[in-house]
Amino acid sequence: MIPRNAGFATRAIHHGYDPYAGSGGLTPPIHVSSTYSLPSAAEGGRRFAGDEPGFVYSRIGNPSTALLEARLASLEGAEAAVVTGSGMGAICSVLWTLLRPGDELLTDETLYGCTFAYFHHGLREFGIEVRHIDLRDPANLEANIRPNTRGVYFETIANPNMRVIDVAGVCDVARRHGIWTVVDNTYLTPYLLRPIELGADYVVHSATKYLSGHGDLLAGVVAGTQEGISRVRLQGVKDFTGSVLSAYDAHQVLRGLKTLSLRMDRHNASAMAVASYLSRHPAVARVFYPGLPGDPGFEVMSRQARGCGGVIALELVRGQPAALEFLDRLALVIRAVSLGDCESLVQHPATMTHSTYTPEERAQHGISDGLVRLSVGLEELEDILADLEQALCGLG
Ligand code: PLP
């Protein structure tokens, strides 16, 4: 039995599972059943109507995913959560639930590439207006809300250019105007920042990243109120996207969560050291990391988060050609998209994760062709720095 007021790391390891119950296994079993027996026809009907608890079919819920959902809700400070087959599954499931033709969604200038594509090639083609505004100043939201504006969507730190949003400031304006907020907290995790405690309605994650942390699965989560999550589960996930997480992958995310706080402390410390090293290197024109004093997001992040996470962006003095050469020279740091893994990863957003934007859109949305995204892993800091040093040598 864990204490009522158990801290983050304790809940990340124990919440929702009693090792003395059932078989007595220290770790929870993996429930692979796709469907569930119904004690009677009448009870089956009541379970379907939501009048009685109990599992019916794994697209709606299963004991393995339910345990992960309870644990993630506890960590996010939310009433409830629903897990999905990927981060994009989470984003699509919540937005298809909340938006209808004629509605407007306001969002920040910069978004992860596939979220941008979903908004522009998905939502817009179904009659939903999507408008980008500079959300770094919450006053811009106040000035831009129209009668058909239904909600606001943003990333706590924007992928890939590290813009920082004042979560409490934006959520406060949204709440006063009766519109909802969906916040992508992938870069920070609930260990570093909890948007719901700052007034957000829904939090989404690519659990593929830090939450699972080992680069061996795809997963997503939406957290929010009991009522809101029930809608997302029964419409967004069950009927609209079918984006379901397997019991095996739910088990792997539970395993990753046990070390989340330790991993994030190390990611924070190493990324901070790497960012300061890069900011002093003559081949580097600019480093984007809000843990650095002087970064435009420094003050807001010092106020709202426990750390800035493990992702850094940088531009080299000699632009895109040097950036691509830098990628090719790295030996320990692996050229790969994704982030939040134990391994340090590097990629070039303009030709990789953000090639979903046209070149004009990238210019308009603040993603330069020379930008490099580095996800600082858990290797020895000295080894990461040595690899960066040899790759940058002579590129200035
Ligand atoms: N949100 C952010 C900020 C991301 O970086 C990503 C993936 O890179 C996603 C959402 C999508 O997650 P997934 O790849 O798990 O679908």
Catalytic residue list contains 59: yes
Strand residues in the chain grouped as ranges (E) = 80-84, 104-107, 129-132, 149-155, 180-184, 202-206, 220-224, 284-288, 311-316, 334-335, 345-347, 372-375
Whether the Cβ atoms of residue 395 and residue 162 lie closer than 8 Å to each other: no
Cα separation, 224 vs 306, in Å, equals 21
Residues whose beta carbon lies within 6 Å of some atom of ligand 1 = 86-88, 112, 114-115, 155, 159, 184, 186, 206, 208, 218, 220
Residue nearest to atom 13 of ligand 1 (CA): 87
Distance 378 CA to ligand 1 centre (A): 20
Is 51 annotated as catalytic?
no
Cα–ligand 1 centroid distance for 107 (angstroms): 16
Burial 183-200 (b: 16+ CB within 10 A, else e): bbbbbbbbbbbbbbebbb
Catalytic residue among 11, 71, 108, 112: 112
Could you tell me which of 116, 100, 122, 125 has the C-alpha nearest to residue 154?
Answer: 116
- For residue 144, count CB atoms less than 10 angstroms from its CB and return exposed for 0-12, middle for 13-18, buried for 19 or more: middle
Tell me: the pLDDT tens digits for 319-371?
999 999 999 999 999 999 999 999 999 999 999 999 999 999 999 998 999 99
Angle between the 381-392 and 260-279 helix axes, to the nearest 10 degrees? 30
Ligand 1 centroid, distance to 322 Cα (angstroms): 27
The predicted pLDDT at position 366 comes to 87
Q: Nearest residue CA, atom 12 of ligand 1? A: 87
pLDDT tens per residue across span 137-172: 999 999 999 999 999 999 999 999 999 999 999 999
Residue 83 near residue 69, CB atoms below 8 Å: yes
pTM above 0.75, yes or no: yes
DSSP 164: B
47 in catalytic set? no
pLDDT digits (tens, 9 = 90+) for 168-204: 999 999 999 999 999 999 999 999 999 999 999 999 9
Distance from the alpha carbon of residue 206 to the mean position of ligand 1, in angstroms: 5
Mutate to test the pocket of ligand 1, among 83, 84, 88 (most ligand atoms within 8 A of CB): 88
Amino acid letter for position 193: L
